[in-house]
Structure 1
Amino acid sequence: MSLKNKDNHNRWRNKTVAFRVSPEEDEQIEIAVKLTGLTKQDYITRRLLCKDVVVQGNPRVYKALRNQLSAVLDELQRIEAGAGMNDELLDTICWIATIMDGMKEETHGD
């Protein structure tokens, strides 16, 4: 049996929601989760309820950004060699740009 837990409003989280995704969609979800630093449950819940997903910079987020930027560079080099670009890469680049822009604002706002 899984551990019982409560959300931020002290409500029991005892319902399970499950759905199927393609391998490509799963990869996109995993990338987004890693870039936000949230748990997958918190990320999906916030997105489904149309709440803001606020990224708090921490070592895990910085590592995920570094790894994704490296993967983006590899893809861009592949594209330069004549291969086509896919929508998932464009989504990842947009997520990284948004997060980096938010981090820049945080740094200048201090």
Structure 2
Amino acid sequence: MKQCNANRKRNKLVNFWVTPDEIALIETRVKLTGLAKGEYLIETLLKQDISISAGKYESDRLSLQLSRLSDALSHCDMNTEEGKMLLDECKLLFQELIKILKKKVDVNGKDIE
């Protein structure tokens, strides 16, 4: 039975595959926190520190994403729903990049609070 998600606060579904060992570990961690599984996953994913590696593979992937956004922006009508969604995606991407760039790191590569 399909649920109506229009009036939900969280109306987007995220799925991913895990191994039996990974699901056992996830479920154990969820139990330890006392949170609902969805809340645990949301908190874990949204509060995880992101760092940009200087390696070629990571740099190429970031460059590819920025190129994809640039191409999409140049071919998109910003007055449509698709255009607004693309602008929102760009805004979120740049907000996260700014947070990463502002993070201070000491000489040993450790974060400085």
**TM-score w.r.t. length of structure 1:** 0.45
Q: Report which structure shows greater RCO (CA 8 Å, sep ≥6).
A: 1
**TM-score w.r.t. length of structure 2:** 0.44
Between structure 1 and structure 2, the one with the greater Rg is 2
